[in-house]
Amino acid sequence: MSHSKKASIFNKDIERTTWHDETLWFVRQKRDKMAYVIPEFQQLRDLASQIKEHTLSQLDEYLLEFERNALKNGVHVHWAADAKEHNEIVLKILKKHKAKKIVKSKSMLTEECHLNPFLQQHAIKVVDTDLGERIIQLRDEAPSHIVLPAIHLKKEDVGETFHQHLNTPKGEKDPQRLTEAARQHLREKFVQADAALTGVNFAIAETGSVVVCTNEGNADLGVNLAKVHIACMGFEKIIPRFNDLSVFTRLLARSATGQPITTYTSHFTKPRPGAEMHVVIVDNGRTQQLGREDFYNSLKCIRCGACMNTCPVYRRSGGHSYNFTVPGPIGSILSPNLDLKKHSSLPFASTLCGSCTEVCPVKIDIHVQLYKWRQQIGESNALPMSKKLSMKVMSKVLASSKLFSFSGKMGRTMIKWLPYSMTHNKSVNPWAKARELPEVPEHSFREWYKQNK
């Protein structure tokens, strides 16, 4: 189903759409306040962008440098060309340790690779420990946002889910008490876990470290209690120097949730004695994106979600309307790389207002890339023939003042003389569902000009 169809279903519940919009707008406002207070915020965005651009231009070297240093630290490094390889590598490590119970902190990469269902097929229990992720895991849903995975749910929904799964009292909807229930429930899981999986926010070539940012402390709690730590990362997470973190840690949480920094910024460099640490480096379509001149710099993304929070379309259509692991503007420029036809409606799920580009902490020109993907889609066979033909006709008309004047007059005359029920028929003219057509003037400007000048 296209984005617009899913979005129109989402919009059937006007109150909820308004609530969703306002909730995310609140996050956007928090972000603004955190950006305004740093005088050099725009300079930091430039620096972050330049560091990432540089890294992408020498990506092979930095990945190898990272591997060398990680190996020196006693960390195992694995490479996966695609999602399948990634999942198999993780499974193999878990099997070696006879690990049956796994705790996982937030990782969009493992979502992208559909790791959870894969491990479950192999009788391994994965518990997502980020509260938002746990909520949607219990509901068997996909995250609707990369930073706020359960942002589409109201506290009543969470209350109902916890009542079913965690035995909270029926009707309990107080976030404080629901969170406490989850804390108790998940402590048990942390204590029992055989292995801990985490994502990676930054991987540092210079030191071979991976940095994970959370607010809940779930990554550290999981990793530091379990015997095995597996950190999974898309290869674009790499940055060159340890000090580069100073730029990114100033930008990430401010852009994401409007906090000055995440509660925990954890630097994992060596495993503790007696434990193992693994890093899985994943491609899964990224090298292909790297080769696209117009789109490679989407790989600068640090997954802050600011473009979602600011996007007026995302806020009013919800993450699930995008039907892709990463929703919102950034997802709409990442997804066509993987399957142009399947995701062909996403670059059109935007007014090209450009707000995404302005909030992006690494200055990805998101709306420019949306426009460019539209062209690629237009040239491919992803759009219906009727649309292609109508564009050809339009082009003919608009390249000739005679045809333009003629068809303009025809159009105006038609709107004028056709009955209102026909021009404003909602099934024929989507414009008219919520809007009146412009009042038709007697003369066009050019007709007036000819008569009066």
Partner 1 sequence: MKIALFVPCYVDQFYPNVGIATLQLLEKLGVEVDFPMEQTCCGQPMANTGFEKDSIPVYNHFVKTFTGYDYIVTPSGSCAYHVKKHYNIIEQTTAVKEVRSKTIELVSFITDVLKVKELPVTFPYKVGLHVSCHGQRGLKNATASEITPDHDGLVLSLLKNIKGIDLTVLNRNDECCGFGGSFCVSEEAVSAKMGIDRVNDHVKNGTQVLTGADMSCLMHLEGIVRREKLAMKVMHIAEILNGNKV
Partner 2 sequence: MSAKEKIISAIKQNKPGAKELPVIPVFNAEENTIETFKQSVKTIGGEVIELASLAEIDVWLEKKFSTAENIVSAIVSSSVTISESSSTELLEKTDVAILQGEWGVAENGAIWLPEQNMLNRALPFITQHLMLVLNIENIVTNMHVAYENISSGAYGVFIAGPSKTADIEQSLVIGAHGARSLTVVLLKRAC
**What stretch of H or E contains 371?**
helix 366-379
66 near partner 2, rule: CB under 8 A: no
CA distances in angstroms from 83 to 36, 263, 330, 445, listed in the order given: 40, 30, 20, 58
Residue 268 touches which member of partner 2, partner 1, none, C-beta under 5-8 Å by kind? partner 2
Applying CB under 8 A, which part among 110-118, 245-253, 310-318, 321-329 lies near partner 2?
A: 245-253
38 near partner 1, rule: CB under 8 A: no
Q: Which is nearer to partner 2, 55 or 323 (CB)?
A: 55
Site for partner 1 in 338-357 (CB under 8 A): 347-355, 357
In 7-135, at which residue ranges do the beta strands (DSSP E only) sit? 76-80, 101-104, 125-128
Number of neighbouring beta carbons within 10 Å of residue 45 = 20
- What percent of the residues of the chain are helix, what percent strand, and what percent coil, each to the nearest 5? 55, 10, 35
Applying CB under 8 A, which part among 2-10, 78-86, 125-133, 199-207 lies near partner 1?
A: 2-10
Site for partner 2 in 267-306 (CB under 8 A): 267-270, 272-273, 281, 283, 287-288, 290-291, 293, 296
Residue 38 touches which member of partner 2, partner 1, none, C-beta under 5-8 Å by kind? partner 2
42 near partner 1, rule: CB under 8 A: yes
C-alpha of 156 from chain center: 25
Spell out, one character per residue from 26 to 45, where the chain touches partner 2: x when CB under 8 A holds, - when not.
xx----------xxx--x--
Residue 72 touches which member of partner 1, partner 2, none, C-beta under 5-8 Å by kind? none
Site for partner 2 in 140-169 (CB under 8 A): 148-151, 153-155, 158
Number of neighbouring beta carbons within 10 Å of residue 145 = 22
Identity at 400, one-letter amino acid code: S
Site for partner 2 in 204-243 (CB under 8 A): 204, 207, 209, 215-218, 220-221, 223-225, 235, 240, 242-243
Site for partner 1 in 381-440 (CB under 8 A): 383, 387-388, 391-392, 394-401, 404, 408, 411-412, 430-431, 433-438, 440
CB of 147 to partner 2, least distance (A): 10
Burial 317-355 (b: 16+ CB within 10 A, else e): bbbbbbbbbbbbbbbbbbbbbbebeebbbbbbbbeeeeb
9 near partner 2, rule: CB under 8 A: no
What whole-number distance in Å separates Cα of residue 325 and Cα of residue 404?
A: 44
Per-residue tokens: 345: 């409606």
What whole-number distance in Å separates Cα of residue 357 and Cα of residue 367?
A: 6
